[in-house]
């Protein structure tokens, strides 16, 4: 990949795509092609075809997807399978037709079976049943991984896939209904701290800056009195003396800063091919954290000195979900951002976003 090679980052406004763009800029790549979904709808095969014909990208990072938490996956399985299949099929086929030199497809660890040995090795794919709650998403992701492999086999392409662990970082989703665990917790602890400090101006600023979810509209919510505002937050599990979390905090999860994932993606694009990587590789540090310890870490960084209430009527999820790091290590890559440093930087970004 030369510094002036045309590189298309699909999904550049998202958590992962924006980190890849930052990483490419930092390494001096100058010819980065980006289009928002309103400029180029990747569900539209003809539009994708025209884009590849006109722009002639040589390298493609496929980080566009319909992504969501468990509730969204359960409610909208048809959207998840349709959109993720269509985006993948349209981009990969156009990349093939227009001779893209290398494509890196972003998958997810939800492709692994529900009850699988830990840590999860790449060879465990399709060994047994998937987790039913996100089956539609997983089947779309597995289909696209396989599509890349079949194009490599039949047409000699160089299309590879990566399976990253849970991500957090700049441009994350903080919607209190749909966010992933770490950004969701960070925002809840932050809001609880602000209630405790009676800083209702800052609460209003936060609610205007990031979507709330649960059918609540920022402009209506912030017009409430301080007491009414506090009650709304209480209903979302955020109090002046405590934050309510799902489950009992006894499960382990890994969290990786999206700048580390971007570093891995760019490294693989620069230095490794399908022959080296095979069908796909996990992007993981190989270490996880007990959720109770993550809560303490977040509380310390945010300086929220209240309690945590465990809502044990809510599911814990699987006890452990850790990808195996052997293959990515053997490819010569390791993450560089320790969790505490990454979360600290993430919280600074969260607080400063939108203030120039
Ligand atoms: N977040 C994680 O923890 C995580 C972990 C492992 C793997 N991944 C994988 O990484 C990839 C990206 O995830 P993310 O978290 O970065 O998602 P994200 O923040 O929701 O971003 C997704 C991006 O996809 C674009 N997109 C969606 N539909 C589109 C369409 N029809 N046409 C064009 N663009 C479209 C959106 O573009 P606009 O903003 O322009 O609408 C958005 O910027 C996914 O494949 C996901 O499975 C994510």
pLDDT in tens, 284-313: 999 999 999 999 999 999 999 999 999 999
Residue of 8, 10, 11 to mutate, ligand 1, most atoms within 8 A of C-beta = 11
Q: Which residues line ligand 1 (CB under 6 A)?
A: 11, 13-17, 36-37, 41-43, 63-67, 87, 106, 108, 164, 166-167, 180
3-state secondary structure of 342: helix
* 274 labelled catalytic: no
Tell me how far CA of residue 305 lies from CA of 126, 243, 295, 308, in angstroms: 45, 10, 12, 10
Q: How far apart are CA 342 and CA 336, in angstroms?
A: 10
Radius of gyration of the chain (CA): 21
Hey, whose CA ends up nearest to atom 12 of ligand 1?
63
CA of 240 to the centre of ligand 1 (A): 34
To which residue do tokens 């320790």 refer? 338
Q: Is the pLDDT of residue 147 over 80?
A: yes
Hey, whose CA ends up nearest to atom 17 of ligand 1?
14
- CATH H-level superfamily of 7-170+254-286+321-337: NAD(P)-binding Rossmann-like Domain (3.40.50.720)
Which residues have C-beta within 8 Å of that of residue 332, sequence separation ≥ 6?
267, 271
Q: Is the pLDDT of residue 355 over 50?
A: no
| Confidence class for position 70, pLDDT limits 50, 70, 90 | confident
Q: What pLDDT does 356 receive?
A: 37
Q: Is the pLDDT of residue 238 over 60?
A: yes
Mean pLDDT of the chain: 95
Q: What percent of the chain is predicted at pLDDT more than 70?
A: 99
Mean pLDDT value across residues 116-126: 96
Instruction: Quote the pTM value.
Output: 0.95
DSSP tag of 242:
E
Q: How far apart are CA 354 and CA 356, in angstroms?
A: 6
CA of 227 to the centre of ligand 1 (A): 37
Hey, whose CA ends up nearest to atom 13 of ligand 1?
16
Mean pLDDT value across residues 243-255: 95
Q: Is the pLDDT of residue 354 over 70?
A: no
Residue of 8, 29, 59, 137 marked catalytic: 137
Cross-strand bridge partners of residue 238: 243
What are the sequence ranges of the domains in the chain?
Answer: 7-170+254-286+321-337
Mean pLDDT value across residues 91-119: 96
Lowest mean pLDDT among 220-224, 259-263, 321-325, 335-339: 220-224
Cross-strand bridge partners of residue 167: 256
pLDDT tens digits for 166-214? 999 999 999 998 898 999 999 999 999 999 999 999 999 999 999 999 8
CA angle, 338 then 344 then 350, to 5°: 130
Q: How far apart are CA 6 and CA 253, in angstroms?
A: 37
Q: How far apart are CA 122 and CA 324, in angstroms?
A: 8
CA of 136 to the centre of ligand 1 (A): 16
Q: Is the pLDDT of residue 224 over 50?
A: yes
């Amino acid at each position: 990949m030369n510094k002036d090679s045309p590189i298309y980052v699909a999904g550049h406004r998202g958590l992962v795509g924006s980190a890849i763009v930052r990483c490419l800029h930092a390494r001096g790549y100058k010819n980065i092609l980006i289009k928002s979904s309103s400029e180029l709808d990747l569900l539209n095969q003809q539009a994708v075809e025209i884009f590849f014909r006109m722009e002639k990208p040589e390298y493609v990072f496929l980080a566009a997807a319909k992504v969501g938490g468990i509730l969204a996956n359960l409610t909208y399985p048809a959207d998840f399978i349709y959109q993720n299949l269509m985006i993948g099929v349209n981009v990969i086929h156009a990349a093939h037709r227009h001779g893209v030199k290398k494509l890196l497809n972003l998958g997810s660890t939800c492709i692994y079976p529900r009850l699988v040995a830990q840590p999860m090795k790449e060879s465990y794919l399709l060994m047994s049943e998937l987790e039913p709650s996100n089956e539609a998403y997983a089947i779309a992701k597995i289909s696209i991984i396989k599509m890349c492999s079949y194009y490599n086999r039949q047409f000699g392409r160089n299309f590879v896939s990566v399976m990253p662990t849970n991500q957090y970082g700049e441009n994350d989703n903080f919607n209190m209904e749909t966010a992933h665990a770490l950004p969701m917790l960070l925002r809840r602890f932050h809001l609880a701290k602000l209630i405790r400090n009676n800083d209702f101006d800052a609460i209003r600023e936060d609610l205007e800056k990031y979507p709330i979810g649960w059918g609540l509209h920022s402009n209506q919510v912030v017009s409430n009195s301080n007491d009414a505002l506090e009650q709304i937050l209480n209903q979302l599990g955020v109090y002046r003396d405590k934050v309510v979390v799902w489950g009992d905090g006894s499960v382990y999860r890994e969290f990786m800063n999206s700048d580390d994932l971007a570093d891995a993606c760019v490294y693989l694009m620069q230095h490794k091919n399908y022959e080296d990587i095979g069908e796909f590789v996990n992007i993981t540090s190989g270490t996880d954290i007990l959720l109770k310890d993550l809560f303490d870490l977040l509380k310390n960084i945010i300086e929220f000195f209240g309690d945590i209430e465990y809502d044990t009527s809510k599911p814990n999820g699987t006890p452990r979900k850790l990808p195996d790091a052997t293959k990515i290590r053997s490819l010569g890559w390791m993450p560089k951002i320790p969790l505490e440093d990454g979360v600290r930087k993430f919280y600074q970004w969260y607080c400063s976003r939108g203030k120039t």
